[in-house]
Amino acid sequence: MSRPRIGIPVDLDEGAGRHEIGRGYADAVLQAGGLPILLPPAPEAARDYLAACDGLLVAGGAFDIAPERYGETRRAARLGPTRPARTDFEWAMAEAALGAGVPVLGVCGGMQLLNVVRGGTLHQHLPDDLGADHEQAAPKDVPSHLVEIEPGTLLARLVGEEPLPVNSTHHQAVSRPGAGVRVSARAPDGVVEALEVPGLPFALGVQWHPEAAGRHEPRHLAIYRGLVDAARGGRR
């Protein structure tokens, strides 16, 4: 049986004239039995892209979603740079995937995007909003804290219900969950670490980077296997 095709929207570095994405995402999809398909930004082609894919992976990046996208004004002095073109594209892809029931996984900023697409909001800067610091020092792949997993969730079925050690490389997080979104894991300080949309075949977001932390805790790799398995099942 051929590998399920997992679309991964990539970034556009206009100054360098190239598309790029961290290789760890594609490597994890391959390791999980999928075929990574890199998708250059083109919101108008989102549905055509999706028709060529069996699943979608929305990756993270060193940028923030503009607060205007979730109905707020900029109030955090340390709000990071935004990438409107990438956000527009990922929004179009995620919205189409959720609407069509195509399996989708959001990682780090990708999880935040899934929440905003569903009408939720974000903490613009965790130290300001909650007094929490979730930007760990290097090395970034080594787990630095535990998350408590909600029993009976999709995440629990994938990695088990025992607390999971995760890495932490973000300064924003989910504030108000979007419509139909269930929080499936939290950090000890209450920060949302995972969410999902019950009722869809596979719609999961994690705030950490399982493709990196999997080197130290094999349970993380089940997240990518879950995406690939759901994509394979949907194709049948």
CA-to-CA dists, residue 31 to 28, 36, 94, 143, 222, angstroms: 5, 10, 23, 20, 11
Q: What is the mean pLDDT of the chain?
A: 95
- Half-sphere exposure of residue 33, counting CA atoms within 13 Å on the CB side? 14
> What is the per-residue pLDDT for 78?
83
CATH fold of the domain at 5-235: Rossmann fold (3.40.50)
Catalytic-labelled residue, pool 108, 123, 193, 196: 108
- Residue range 59-89, pLDDT digits in tens: 998 899 999 999 999 987 788 899 999 999 9
C-alpha 40/C-alpha 208 separation (Å) is: 24
> What is the per-residue pLDDT for 236?
55
123 is catalytic: no
pLDDT tens digits for the chain (236 residues)? Answer: 799 999 999 988 878 888 889 999 999 999 999 999 999 999 999 999 999 999 999 999 889 999 999 999 998 778 889 999 999 999 999 999 999 999 999 999 999 999 999 999 999 999 999 999 999 999 999 999 999 999 999 999 999 999 999 999 999 999 999 999 999 999 999 999 999 999 999 999 999 999 999 999 999 999 999 999 999 997 65
Burial 19-37 (b: 16+ CB within 10 A, else e): eebbebbbebbeebbbbbb
C-alpha 204/C-alpha 123 separation (Å) is: 19
**Contact between residue 86 and residue 141 where contact means Cβ atoms under 8 Å apart:** no
C-alpha 151/C-alpha 157 separation (Å) is: 8
pTM, 2 dp: 0.96
Give the distance, in angstroms, between the CA of residue 146 and the centroid of all CA atoms in the same chain. 18
Structure tokens at 67: 């607060």
Catalytic-labelled residue, pool 90, 193, 196, 211: 211
> What is the per-residue pLDDT for 235?
66
C-alpha 221/C-alpha 122 separation (Å) is: 27
Catalytic-labelled residue, pool 134, 170, 171, 209: 209
- Residue range 96-124, pLDDT digits in tens: 999 999 999 999 999 999 999 999 999 99
20 is catalytic: no
Q: How many percent of the chain have pLDDT more than 70?
A: 99
Indicate the domain borders of the chain.
5-235
53 is catalytic: no
